[in-house]
Amino acid sequence: MTAPLLSVRDLSVEFRTRSGIVPALKHVSFDLAPGEMLGIVGESGSGKSVTAFTLLGLLDRAGRVSSGQAMFGGQDLLRLGQGALNELRGAAMSIVFQNPRTALNPIRPVGVQIADVIARHDAGSTATLRARVLDALRQMRIAEPERRASAYPYELSGGMCQRIGIAMALACAPRLLIADEPTTGLDVTTQAAVMDVFRDAVRRGGVGTIFITHDLALASEYCDRILVMQSGEVVEDAPVAEIFTRPRHPYTRRLLRSTPSSVDVIDDLSPDEEPLPPAPPRGDRLAAPVLEVRGLSKSYAFARPRGLSNFWKPRDTAMLRAVDGVDLVIRPGEAVGLVGESGCGKSTLSRMINRLIAADAGEVLLQGTPIQRISPGRFASLPQRRLIQMVFQDPTESLNPRFSVFEAIADPVGQLLPHEGRAALRARVERAATRVGLPLALLPRYPHQLSGGQKARVGIARAMVVEPRLLVLDEPTSALDVSVQAVVLRLLTRLRREEGVAQLFVSHDLNVVRLLCDRIIVMYKGKIVESGTAEQVFNRPAHDYTRSLLAAIPRLRGQRALGAT
Amino acid sequence: MRVLRRIGGRLLASLPALLGVVVFTFLLMRVLPGDPAVFFSSGPNAGQAEIDAVRKDLGLDRPIPEQLLRYLYDVGTGNLGRSLTTGQTVVHDLGERLPASLELTLCALVLALGLALPLGILAAVRPGSAIDHAVRMVCTLGVCVPTFVSGLLLVYVFYVQFGIAPDPTGRLDIFAASPPDITGFLLIDFALVGDWEGWQAAAAQLVLPALTMALFVLAPLARMTRASMLSVLGSDFIRTARSIGLSRWRVVAVYGLRNAILPVLTIIGIVFSTMLGANVLVEKVFSWPGIGSYALDALLASDYAPVQGFVLLMAAVFVMVNLLIDVLYGIADPRVSVA
């Protein structure tokens, strides 16, 4: 074996916090060969990003390296000062960050930001600089590089911004590249495109790459070797072919079993958990629908609203049809998955169903009663509001930090069932908490004292407390780690099987939707392009868009391709 | 071209606000106690006939709506009335005093920015350090010491004790020769005619009042700079800038400052407008012939026209300053357009 490009030995990092010194990395050791792509996977708090930032000397002030060395090009990166690191950063080693939009300077044209890297490390004439910037953009397969170079980040899509980020990292032909969750938050199709561009550029340059991700399937598709980290330690380090077929460490095995793409039915996901009740017989084909939507539409104007300065001009009629004549039926106890890329109108649709916003046209029938004429503001205080409840995307952001868990869960009761007494209210809240598996001891706590999974349970309990017949779930697990996600998915299935509450599950993650839902609806540009049972949509997709969506899903190695039975 | 059209639109859109200000001040002056007719009659024992004559002369005997219409017509034709105390037209008085106020305010603002920006940046680069605490103390002092106290203190130290500063009586020493009236800004006028001795004298008169005002507005500017710089330095793109090997100084100056300056710009606009009208105390302490003390004197004398003119002028200045800030904002931040 050739000498490693990077050799990390016994690396330990600790953070000073208010509650004392917290170890973040414990004796981490690994090697990276030139041109190799090494995946680091693990859940949040496992130390993946801390490893990356430590190697580049980008740790926060609070972080401190307590032991270890990281040999790169004959130098120990951990002993270098910021000045020496600045010579290396961007040139010999570089990094691609998460959240491409915020990782770029919002008020500097992206071409100039790429030029900043090149000018810093090998300055040349303006003409060569310009040529190299355009070349870097072309390498990322960005069409019309001249025009794109003068664009600002806000004018570009998330995927395009990440290509810029990768172009910046690769502009000075580094030997070591670290990619820290580069595609988190991007659509699957965009993710696939960005990852392909990324892999090709890295291969062409023979760059040794550390690819940090929480997505095992994604890592298995692109990496040569995988490092599994758990609470600051490396628990497994094996070639990708082995780690998925013969995982040695129990944590790796647990992680694998929590990954939705590794199983066929929800009952197999994290099977160590308490077994799920059996699915009730599906004899509800003819039951009266809990929700019926007919020809629902919503458009947004492109033009700015009229102000004083343009009131005499004719109205600009260009409209974006966010949701365009959508029909939908959900029967009691049914789970319907609504998938599509960002901007396809799925969130707008779910908000119209909830009466959070008003529709332009169409009908919404809740248990047979039309509700589309009721204004969103008034609907909030009507008894029918009880029937539909919503679970939001980010469990942290959607809880009021000043409300205790009890207050958060009791909040909708006070609004929708105002005549309930204190004792009844307490009993109701405790019942809801128990149903979602939230220990009653947590009720007086505040959100910041809870884990991510507990916060997700609070969000679900708050929706379930008024005994709705339909839950609208807007990407409820996208902010969660896989093991927590598995638990939440099982909880949602349990609620549906035991209580018969119907669920509309809005998500971009087809693997999750496949496990959870009976029927799947695919939206594309405001229209429903495909709808059918989960089995149909996955195995016999009818629409081209569905096919491209399925093709873009990362798969675990060794898993049969989706759609090929 | 498009920018110019938009600026024109903005000015047009501010007309209703200005009209509202005019009507409001007109009504306010009419309901305030004090009868100008009595005040401006020849003496305290003037007869009713004389008072009536003055009232008729001033047009105060007509119904209020008619007075308002006349007033609006006058404002529209550029006639703001005549000050009864100075005997000059209000336009003339304001034109004479506005440059004095503007010169003082601008110098104070430049001085304040020159101090506040570096202090705020230093405090943000090293939060919690000795520098940070020192800046916080300076700002607190600046805010809690009233301008007339700090002004008098400065006069006491630099004029009475050390004798470095000239006596605090107006824009120029009474015995010094005034420059020809070109722009009304003494520093510019002296520079235009090449009289550098006079320039120095004018500048010397300006230093203490400008410093007094600067100290007062230092706090909002420095604190805003610090807060804005702190949040920018904590953002993801700063980490990106560090990850490409840019030096610390470049990261702070190029990536940090330009982003951090945006909220500071807004504060500058507000601070400037406030300073221009509200520095009466400083003007009084230094006998500065500015518009603030002019309006105050007129108000005390129940002299309507100058006060109305002053309020209208301030409203116009406020609109112009905000427009200027918005244009600057549009230049500094590509995401914003002058709407």
Distance CA A198, CA A179 (A): 10
Helix axes B90-125, B258-278, angle to 10 degrees: 140
Task: State whether residue A177 sits within 8 Å of chain B by CB.
Answer: no
Assigned token pair, B258: 């330009």
In a domain, A272, yes or no: no
Distance CA A294, CA A160 (A): 36
**Do both A324 and A236 map to the same domain?**
no
Residues contacting residue A516 through CB under 8 Å, at least 6 positions apart: A266, A335, A337, A489, A492, A493, A503, A505
What is the extent of the structural domain holding A254?
A: 6-258
**Do both A161 and A229 map to the same domain?**
yes
**Do both A401 and A548 map to the same domain?**
yes
**Do both A252 and A382 map to the same domain?**
no
In a domain, A561, yes or no: no
Q: Strand pairing partners for A64?
A: A14
Assigned token pair, A348: 């707008």
When scoring A102, A309, A312 by the number of chain B Cβ atoms within 10 A, the one with the most, hence best to mutate, is A309
Phi, psi of B172 (to 5 degrees): -145, 150
**Do both A248 and A295 map to the same domain?**
no
In a domain, A271, yes or no: no
Cα dihedral B116, B119, B122, B128 in deg (nearest 10): -110
Residue from the list A94, A152, A310 with its beta carbon closest to the beta carbon of B244: A94
B246 vs A116: CB contact, 8 Å cut-off? yes
B240 vs A86: CB contact, 8 Å cut-off? no
In a domain, A448, yes or no: yes
Contacts of A310 in chain B (CB under 8 A): 9
Residue from the list A97, A152, A154 with its beta carbon closest to the beta carbon of B239: A97
In a domain, B44, yes or no: no
In a domain, B99, yes or no: yes
A116 vs B241: CB contact, 8 Å cut-off? yes
What pLDDT does residue B240 have? 92
Considering its fold, how many domains does chain A have in total? 2
Residues in chain A: 565
Distance CA A81, CA A427 (A): 60
What pLDDT does residue A116 have? 92
Alpha carbon of A19 to those of A15, A62, A231, A450, B207: distances in Å?
A: 10, 13, 18, 16, 51
Cβ proximity of B275 and B102 under 8 Å: no
**Interface predicted TM-score (ipTM):** 0.79
Contacts of B244 in chain A (CB under 8 A): 89-90, 94, 116-117, 120, 168
**Do both A412 and A457 map to the same domain?**
yes
Residues contacting residue B292 through CB under 8 Å, at least 6 positions apart: B101, B276, B277, B278, B279, B280, B283
**Do both A238 and A336 map to the same domain?**
no
- A–B interface: beta-carbon pairs under 8 A: 80
In a domain, B39, yes or no: no
Task: State whether residue A81 sits within 8 Å of chain B by CB.
Answer: no
What pLDDT does residue A284 have? 56
Distance CA A439, CA B178 (A): 84
A104 vs B10: CB contact, 8 Å cut-off? no
Distance CA B161, CA A427 (A): 78
What pLDDT does residue A43 have? 85
What is the extent of the structural domain holding B212?
A: 93-288
B237 vs A58: CB contact, 8 Å cut-off? no
Residues contacting residue A104 through CB under 8 Å, at least 6 positions apart: A110, A113, A153, A161, A164, A165, B237, B240
**Do both A203 and A133 map to the same domain?**
yes
In a domain, B149, yes or no: yes
In a domain, A146, yes or no: yes
A107 vs B259: CB contact, 8 Å cut-off? yes
What CATH number should be reported for the domain holding residue A110? Answer: 3.40.50.300
What CATH number should be reported for the domain holding residue B238? Answer: 1.10.3720.10
What is the sign of the dihedral through the CA atoms of B55, B59, B61 and B64? negative
In a domain, B36, yes or no: no
In a domain, A66, yes or no: yes
Q: Which residue of A has its CA nearest to B259?
A: A107
Distance CA A44, CA A395 (A): 15
A309 vs B13: CB contact, 8 Å cut-off? yes
In a domain, B28, yes or no: no
User: Looking at CA atoms only, how far is residue B174 from chain A in angstroms?
Assistant: 50
Assigned token pair, B55: 């009232």
Task: State whether residue A97 sits within 8 Å of chain B by CB.
Answer: yes
In a domain, A564, yes or no: no
Cβ proximity of A104 and A159 under 8 Å: no
Which stretches of chain B score pLDDT less than 50?
Answer: 338-339
**Do both A248 and A343 map to the same domain?**
no
What pLDDT does residue B170 have? 79
Sheet holding A176-180, edge to edge: A93-96, A176-180, A208-213, A37-41, A225-230, A233-239
User: Looking at CA atoms only, how far is residue B264 from chain A in angstroms?
Assistant: 16
User: Looking at CA atoms only, how far is residue A191 from chain B in angstroms?
Assistant: 21
B236 vs A97: CB contact, 8 Å cut-off? yes
Which stretches of chain A score pLDDT less than 50?
Answer: 308-309, 560-565
**Do both A369 and A449 map to the same domain?**
yes
What pLDDT does residue A564 have? 38
Q: Which residue of B has its CA nearest to A178?
A: B243
**Do both A397 and A467 map to the same domain?**
yes
**Do both A94 and A20 map to the same domain?**
yes
In a domain, B85, yes or no: no
Distance CA A29, CA A230 (A): 14
Q: Which residue of A has its CA nearest to B249?
A: A83
What pLDDT does residue A26 have? 92
Considering its fold, how many domains does chain B have in total? 1
